[in-house]
Structure 1
Amino acid sequence: MGKILDQYVSRKVLGRWRKAAQSAPFTALHLLRRQRDEARQFRLHLERLIQVADGRLTRPLIGSTSFPKPLGTDWAWRPDLWRGPLAKHGHASLSRKTSMDKQVTLFHDCDLGEIAIRQTRNTADKDLAPFSLALEIFEFTGSFLSLSIELPAEATFGLTRQHLIRASAQIECERPTGMFARLNIQHGPNTEQVLRELSYSDSSMSVDFDLAHLHLNERRVEKIWLDLIINDPRMNRIVLRDLTLCRHHRADL
């Protein structure tokens, strides 16, 4: 009975506001002013409800860590920027170093600063990450533009030269441009680096960083970060729809 009554009340309220909206051009001003103030109060609560509902009902769900992983994976991670909403969604006219959060920072050396960066919500059926990161670059006269992603401390625990670290991304560009991924591993005073080119044969791409040939002191690994380096970024819009990393052991031969 309560549900039927609620539906009846909702229909009556909706009908009242529909009639008020249709009559607004002819309503007396003193009544119109009262309706406007009341409507604003309703709108505040309705917009809050819609915002929360969109966040909870839109897929992929906020906080999702689901993505394909190779056999033998012992650590996997999607950075927070692709999992949940940031306090500040975007920046324009970027300085040479701009941090989106504690994990993701953009670097460049262009004096013009005609670069914008923004977090957006993913809604496509194929998306696994709840959010994307969109870069819009206009004139660019610098020599480099890179996105640095600092991996959490858990990525260093138990790391050995028998591991491969896989970086996977879904990237869309208005025009094709060269892009490289560089893994950096700090151990003591030294830093080892592995560079891989990202292929644009598909919007989904993965690269494996083999640690076997690095002069790596496994007992002193302190920090790992990934650099995504974009060549000739000018006059382009680049959207990173997803970015994930995982660690797995090399197959026994």
Structure 2
Amino acid sequence: MPGLRLMPLINRRLVNSIVHRRVVSRWAKLAREAGNASLSRLRQQRSMARDLRLHLDALIHEADNRLALPLIGNTAFRKPHGSDWSWRPELWRGPLPVPGMSSVQNGSTLGEEVTLFHDCRFSELTLRQLRNSRESDLAPYGLRLDVFKFDGSFLSLVVDLPQAAVDGLQKRHLIRMDTIVEMEKPLEIFARLNIRHGPNTEQLVRELPLHEDEVTVEFDLAYSRLNEKRIEKAWIDLIFEGPEMNQVTIRDLTFSRRPRAEL
């Protein structure tokens, strides 16, 4: 019965509460009596108190750190009313088995959904996942791209959209991308939506308005030549123009889609 299964848990909590109160009461009493305690006894109590404080400080530090951070696995974010699909990629949701790489080669992947493409002869690029810690962050993790010397002609970060993004996709849909981007110095970033339908790939390009704190772009499929019956997959290219000697941090990246209002 559910009630019987809860009894051991309730009992453990009760015992822990009683033990905790007794421990606190004991140390409070020792603190009050410290002024009259013998020096030998005080020396022993000081050693015990320091041992205890070491573990308490470690616990408090870790608790403060974790409780102040965005919740791992969080999928919540603001999306337009009427959205029929929304998504935050895994890199921004939870920890990756391999959190980063240096001297990133063309076509290297970070996680299952993010790939970096470039044509540098000598790669001086690093890519790594980082833990977000700002109070305003909804995404638990972010992505940092460091570019030192850059001798290539293009640099792009590709995010593969899941199958759910294209299931039921029609030309009356708007696909929206929201992101938070930080840079050491200004550069241009373009977002290109690619949708493969049969032998063709439809492409829609938008420049990110990086003067805003929270960046939003929308792709209106009404202006495409999309064959709704042959849609296979979709992905986003984030294209960086003039990235040399720069650090770009993408604090969050989310997608949603909604049907356009009927006229």
Q: Which residue of 1 aligns with 2:131?
A: 121
Q: Which residue of 2 aligns with 1:228?
A: 238
Q: Which residue of 2 aligns with 1:162?
A: 172
Aligned-partner residue type, residue 237 of structure 1: Q
Q: Which residue of 1 aligns with 2:48?
A: 16
- 1:57 pairs with 2:67: yes
Q: Which residue of 2 aligns with 1:66?
A: 76
C-alpha contact (below 8 Å) 1:55/1:62 kept by paired residues: no
- 1:102 pairs with 2:139: no
Question: What is the 5 A alignment of 1:189-200?
Answer: 189-200=199-210
C-alpha contact (below 8 Å) 1:56/1:62 kept by paired residues: no
Aligned-partner residue type, residue 106 of structure 1: L
TM-score by length of 2: 0.79
Pairwise CA RMSD of aligned residues? 2.6
Where does the alignment leave 5 or more consecutive residues of structure 2 unmatched? 1-17, 29-43
> Runs of 4+ in structure 1 displaced over 6 angstroms?
8-14
Measured at CA, do residues 193 and 13 of structure 1 come closer, stay the same or move farther in structure 2, by a change above 3 Å?
Answer: farther
What per-residue deviation string (whole Å, max 9, x for no partner) do you get for residues 149-187 of structure 1? 001111111100000000111000000001100000011
- 1:180 pairs with 2:212: no
What per-residue deviation string (whole Å, max 9, x for no partner) do you get for residues 190-246 of structure 1? 110001111122131111101012221212211010000000100000000000000
Counterpart secondary structure, 2:223 = coil
Measured at CA, do residues 8 and 90 of structure 1 come closer, stay the same or move farther in structure 2, by a change above 3 Å?
Answer: farther
| Displacement after TM superposition at 1:59 (Å) | 2.7
Counterpart secondary structure, 1:73 = coil
Q: Which residue of 1 aligns with 2:13?
A: none
Match of 1:2 among 19, 29, 45: 19
Aligned-partner residue type, residue 16 of structure 1: M
Aligned-partner residue type, residue 177 of structure 2: A
C-alpha contact (below 8 Å) 1:82/1:242 kept by paired residues: yes
- 1:76 pairs with 2:86: yes
Measured at CA, do residues 50 and 91 of structure 1 come closer, stay the same or move farther in structure 2, by a change above 3 Å?
Answer: farther
Counterpart secondary structure, 2:226 = coil
Aligned-partner residue type, residue 125 of structure 1: E
Aligned-partner residue type, residue 242 of structure 2: D
Where does the alignment leave 5 or more consecutive residues of structure 1 unmatched? 21-38
| Displacement after TM superposition at 1:107 (Å) | 0.9
Q: What is the distance in 2 between the residues matched to 1:55 and 1:152? A: 32
C-alpha contact (below 8 Å) 2:68/2:135 kept by paired residues: no
Please identify the structure whose Cα radius of gyration is greater: 2
C-alpha contact (below 8 Å) 1:107/1:148 kept by paired residues: yes
Counterpart secondary structure, 2:157 = strand
C-alpha contact (below 8 Å) 2:85/2:257 kept by paired residues: yes
Measured at CA, do residues 177 and 7 of structure 1 come closer, stay the same or move farther in structure 2, by a change above 3 Å?
Answer: same
Aligned-partner residue type, residue 50 of structure 2: R
- How many equivalent residue pairs? 229
| Displacement after TM superposition at 1:16 (Å) | 2.9
Measured at CA, do residues 55 and 244 of structure 1 come closer, stay the same or move farther in structure 2, by a change above 3 Å?
Answer: farther
TM-score by length of 1: 0.82
Measured at CA, do residues 121 and 14 of structure 1 come closer, stay the same or move farther in structure 2, by a change above 3 Å?
Answer: farther
Counterpart secondary structure, 2:91 = helix
